[in-house]
């Protein structure tokens, strides 16, 4: 016999009392492709929403190997040590392709995994960054309703995923490594502009000297950027995730940022802007997927693409034709 499905109300009540199993179940519903599950997920989120929002959302990015997992293990453990409840989520649009996420690697978060004040969830799999990002955003709400006051969202520092994560967090932390004096070369300008803090990791052993040098260089470079709308001057520090050094400094800087932006209201303004952005983004995603999933569109799109390829129609005429198809 099949186990009786939990009702929406039962799941919500359990989430609000901090039950991790219920939280995981709800996230699984959010990540499901089954329309019935999604309907229930929406109902759960709606009821959780009034209990959400009471957290700090921190985005962490950096290239593979920079030490993100190790850093989150150290920082998450530090946070739980000062009575915080930490949820770690990941945004990895490639997880569906590579089968097995390179993020949220629990083997490198050994202590945090066992910590009862921490919750770690790997990236949802999805075909598009938009889909993965939206699910993560809904998961944030569920985690907050379950009482997590610090939400860490990890993403890999390649491609567009930083922008998606930036649009769902309050504070954005970029992890870097000290190189051979060419720190500022080959760095993506956009990412630097998004960063509220740069932490130069692996500042230990032989790396220590070059890390300190890199800190000076990044600091100098950051001062060349115009003042941000938050009025926050991004900070640069060095840390050693593996030695768990620099975690208090990271926490202090985030606290300073929060104080400034709550005082000048930027914190709330940014969250409002993010909510509006996500409303529009959700509509856009939904319209697009509904359109492209229509049987007739699938058939006709193929034909029109061929016509365009053979110069037998223009892209604009073809688009008008497809948009005009009634099922």
Applying CB under 6 A, the span of 18-26, 158-166, 234-242, 268-276 interacting with ligand GDP comes to 234-242
Q: Is 214 exposed, middle or buried (0-12, 13-18, 19+ CB in 10 A)?
A: buried
Q: Which one, of 20, 30, 29, lies nearest residue 134 by Cα?
A: 30
**Closest separation in Å from C-beta 305 to ligand GDP:** 39
Binding map of ligand GDP across residues 92-131, x = CB under 6 A, - = no contact: ----------------x-----------------------
**Closest separation in Å from C-beta 7 to ligand GDP:** 39
**Closest separation in Å from C-beta 277 to ligand GDP:** 27
Instruction: Copy the structure tokens of residue 195.
Output: 């960063």
- Measure CA of the first residue to CA of the last residue in the chain; give whole Å: 40
66 near ligand GDP, rule: CB under 6 A: yes
**Closest separation in Å from C-beta 145 to ligand GDP:** 28
Q: How many residues bind ligand GDP (CB under 6 A)?
A: 15
**Closest separation in Å from C-beta 203 to ligand GDP:** 7
173 near ligand GDP, rule: CB under 6 A: no
Please identify, using beta-carbon distances, which residue of 75 and 171 lies nearer to ligand GDP.
75
Could you give the angle at the alpha carbon of 280 between the alpha carbons of 274 and 285, nearest 5°? 115
202 near ligand GDP, rule: CB under 6 A: yes
61 near ligand GDP, rule: CB under 6 A: no
249 near ligand GDP, rule: CB under 6 A: no
159 near ligand GDP, rule: CB under 6 A: no
**Closest separation in Å from C-beta 193 to ligand GDP:** 21
**Are 22 and 40 in contact, with CB atoms under 8 Å apart?**
no
Beta partners for residue 57, in sequence order = 151
Q: Which of the residues 69 through 88 are near ligand GDP (CB under 6 A)? A: 69-70
**Closest separation in Å from C-beta 241 to ligand GDP:** 4
Q: How many residues make up the chain in this entry?
A: 327
Place of tokens 């000076």: 216
Contact residues for ligand GDP, defined by CB under 6 A: 62, 64-70, 108, 201-202, 204, 240-242
């Amino acid at each position: 016999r099949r186990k009786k499905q939990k009702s929406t109300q039962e799941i919500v009540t359990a989430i609000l009392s901090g039950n991790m199993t219920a939280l995981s179940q709800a996230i699984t519903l959010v990540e499901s492709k089954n329309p019935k599950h999604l309907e229930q997920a929406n109902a759960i989120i709606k009821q959780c929403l009034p209990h959400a929002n009471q957290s700090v959302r921190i985005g962490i990015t950096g290239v593979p190997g920079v030490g993100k997992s190790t850093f989150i293990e150290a920082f998450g453990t530090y946070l739980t040590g000062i009575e915080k409840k930490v949820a770690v989520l990941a945004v990895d649009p490639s997880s569906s392709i590579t089968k097995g996420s390179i993020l949220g690697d629990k083997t490198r978060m050994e202590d945090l995994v066992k910590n009862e004040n921490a919750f770690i969830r790997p990236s949802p799999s999805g075909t598009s960054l938009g889909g993965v990002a939206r699910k993560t955003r809904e998961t944030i709400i569920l985690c907050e309703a379950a009482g997590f006051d610090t939400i860490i969202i990890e993403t890999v520092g390649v491609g567009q995923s930083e922008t998606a994560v930036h649009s769902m967090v309050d504070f954005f932390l970029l992890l870097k490594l000290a190189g051979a004096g060419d720190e500022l070369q080959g760095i993506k300008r956009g990412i630097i502009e998004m960063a509220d803090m740069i932490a130069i990791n692996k500042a230990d052993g032989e790396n220590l000297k070059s890390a300190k040098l890199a800190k000076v260089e990044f600091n100098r470079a950051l001062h060349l950027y115009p003042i941000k709308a938050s009025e926050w001057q991004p900070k640069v520090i060095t840390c050693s995730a593996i030695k768990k050094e620099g975690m208090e400094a990271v926490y202090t800087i985030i606290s300073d940022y929060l104080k400034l932006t709550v005082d000048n209201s930027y914190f709330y303004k940014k969250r409002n802007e993010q909510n509006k952005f996500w409303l529009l983004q959700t509509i856009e995603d939904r319209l697009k997927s509904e359109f492209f999933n229509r049987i007739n569109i699938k058939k006709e799109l193929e034909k029109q693409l061929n016509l365009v390829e053979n110069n037998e129609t223009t892209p604009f005429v073809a688009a008008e034709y497809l948009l005009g198809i009634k099922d």
